[in-house]
Amino acid sequence: MAATRRKAAEKAPVTTQARLASLIKSARDTMRKDAGMNGDLDRLPQLSWLLFLKAFQERVEEEGEALDPGGYRRAIEKPYRWTDWATDEDLSGNELKTFVNDELIPYLAGLDREADRGAEDPRNVISLIFKDVVNRMQSGTLLRDLVNIVNKIHFISHDDIHTMAFVYESILREMRDAAGDSGEFYTPRPVNRFMVRQSFLELGETILDPACGTGGFLVQAHEELEGRVKTETQQRELHANLKGIEKKPLPYLLASMNLLLHGVHAPRLRRENALLTMRNSQAADKVDVVLTNPPFGGEEESSVVTAFPSAFQTQETAWLFLYSILDQLKLGGRCAIVLPNGSLFASGENSIGAKIKKKLMKECNLHTVVRLPQGVFAPYTQIPSNILFFEKSGPTQDVWFYEIPLPEGRRGYTKTKPQRLEEYDDCVAWWGGKTREGREAGERAWSVPATEIIADGYNLDRSNPHIGDELAHRTPEELVDELVKTEEEILRLLTELREGLGGER
């Protein structure tokens, strides 16, 4: 296999970062000329499914044949393999467009028709992706140009993969920028890297992100554990244990591509509504670890809401995800989840939020709440957020809070100056390792007894007691920002109260 890879790599130009960035730019310039492409929300999916097929050809099919010459059965048959049609430059114009629209995509979407297929079969992933793929390019000539550009991108060597993964992250960032306009935003790398690291993952554990988006948490978990793999059996088990659920087709495609680039050839991703999937799950579906940043501030349709017990029915997605995760964890399982301040603040005996937090603190040890600095998810939202870490190991006794400060001299984050992973170093040092031993209160850390939280209506929105006297030293701009933050929390609370009273949203 190594010899085969070396020969292929010798024929292909070196895929430097600069060369790849240039090819991606050429691809996007080509798509801009096409009348059927309207912005990045059309162009990026078009580029991604083509890149997926090229990467699948080189990383799965050719690698499989090299490992098992004569015995490997390709997932994609002739004439639908990338090498059959994409490299045939005589196939162009309307002939190419007709082939792609009427033959290629329907064939790929129909690859799940065979019965008794194992979950590890890559045809399952391909069929799920291409059920929602549409070729939006109207010009077959421009489509030919685009395919020719993608054909110059290679996934053969380790350096190629590293380069493509780096550039693909920039594509995902631009996808997040485009999606942010429609109310969707994804977890910054420092946040999901910190959450994965502080979850102390182990080989053999099942890891789920029920709102996996573009797959950031699963990729980080894979990177965390991959270096510990010693055998092929362990590698297969690791890939099988990384599970994601995503209901929207575009993020599902991007997550599949993301995991493929990181060596997971048959990602265990489900294209479903995670809330219904978790409600209908069996004991065998329970997992060891949940890592997630569920959508919040949105509303679910009534058919989803009514699938939950009447006392916990709400259209607020964050609450529904938290409730579902509590039931999805194995005994002894653990979770790291991002929640907005409004979720922490919701209190009162009849509040659905308080009821779910009561369930959380009764069934689980909510040992740590990390309060994120303002604007971590900027520019997509300014809603203050937190990371909750808990274990399904019995009732909560005390909750530790740790406040991540903004870097000195900064008033927030931007697209060009986002949060850095190093900003979590002090929290990691304070954490106390896997067993959380030796934690001490300090300028950024404090502990609150569960009895106090319960007496306060399960209000987890606890301010740092060590910096209460700094108000007089804050700038007018900071005070206004704080007022805006408070008003947002009040509005969220009033909205939930109205929902509880049966009013219209």
- The pairing of strands 398-403 and 365-371 is parallel
Q: Is residue 447 a part of any domain in this protein?
A: yes
Q: What is the DSSP string of 144-181?
A: HHHHHHHTT----SHHHHHHHHHHHHHHHHHHHHHHHT
Domain co-membership, 271 together with 372: yes
- Encode pLDDT of 361-370 as tens digits: 999 999 999 9
Exposure pattern of 216-248 as b/e (b: 16+ CB <10 Å)?
bbbbbbbebbbeebeeeeebeebbebbbbbbbe
Residues of the chain with pLDDT > 70: what percent?
Answer: 82
Domain co-membership, 158 together with 42: yes
> Cα–Cα distances in Å, from 6 out to 1, 11, 260, 365?
9, 9, 21, 52
Q: Is residue 30 a part of any domain in this protein?
A: yes
- The pairing of strands 207-209 and 365-371 is unpaired
The residue from 180, 213, 229 where one domain ends is: 180
Domain co-membership, 232 together with 91: no
The residue from 143, 163, 180 where one domain ends is: 180
Domain co-membership, 170 together with 195: no
- Encode pLDDT of 119-143 as tens digits: 567 888 888 889 889 999 999 999 9
Name the strands in the sheet holding 445-449, side by side, starting at the edge strand that comes first in the sequence: 268-270, 242-245, 207-209, 287-292, 329-340, 385-391, 365-371, 398-403, 445-449
Q: What is the rounded distance in angstroms from the CA atom of residue 399 to the CA atom of residue 357?
A: 13
**CATH number of the domain that residue 120 is part of:** 1.20.1260.30
Domain co-membership, 128 together with 251: no
Domain co-membership, 88 together with 199: no
Domain co-membership, 228 together with 130: no
> Cα–Cα distances in Å, from 18 out to 24, 32, 163?
10, 21, 9
Q: Is residue 505 a part of any domain in this protein?
A: no
Q: What is the rounded distance in angstroms from the CA atom of residue 196 to the CA atom of residue 194?
A: 5
- Encode pLDDT of 172-226 as tens digits: 666 555 554 444 557 888 999 999 999 999 999 999 999 998 888 999 999 999 9
Per the DSSP assignment, residues forming a β-bridge with 387 are 338, 370
- The pairing of strands 445-449 and 385-391 is unpaired
**CATH number of the domain that residue 309 is part of:** 3.40.50.150
Tokens of 400: 């530790």
Domain co-membership, 402 together with 358: yes
Domain co-membership, 217 together with 267: yes
**Tens of pLDDT, residue by residue, the chain (505 residues):** 334 444 444 455 556 777 888 888 899 899 999 999 888 778 888 988 998 899 888 888 887 787 777 777 888 999 999 999 999 989 999 999 999 999 999 999 998 755 445 556 788 888 888 988 999 999 999 999 999 999 998 877 656 555 666 666 666 666 555 554 444 557 888 999 999 999 999 999 999 999 998 888 999 999 999 999 999 999 999 999 999 999 888 788 888 888 887 888 788 999 999 999 999 999 999 999 999 999 876 678 888 999 999 989 988 888 999 999 999 999 999 999 999 888 887 666 678 889 999 999 999 999 999 999 988 876 666 778 899 999 999 999 999 999 999 888 887 787 778 889 999 999 999 999 999 999 999 999 999 999 999 999 999 999 889 875 454 445 677 667 767 767 776 776 677 667 666 544 3
Domain co-membership, 457 together with 327: yes
Mapping DSSP onto H, E and C, the string for 16-41 reads CHHHHHHHHHHHHHHHHCCCCCCCHH
Residue numbers of the domain that contains 55: 2-180
Please tell me the pTM assigned to this model.
Answer: 0.81
How many separate domains does the chain show?
Answer: 2
Q: Is residue 57 a part of any domain in this protein?
A: yes
The residue from 118, 152, 180 where one domain ends is: 180
Name the DSSP letter for residue 465: G
Q: Is residue 357 a part of any domain in this protein?
A: yes
Domain co-membership, 286 together with 337: yes
Q: What is the rounded distance in angstroms from the CA atom of residue 429 to the CA atom of residue 439?
A: 10
Domain co-membership, 73 together with 150: yes
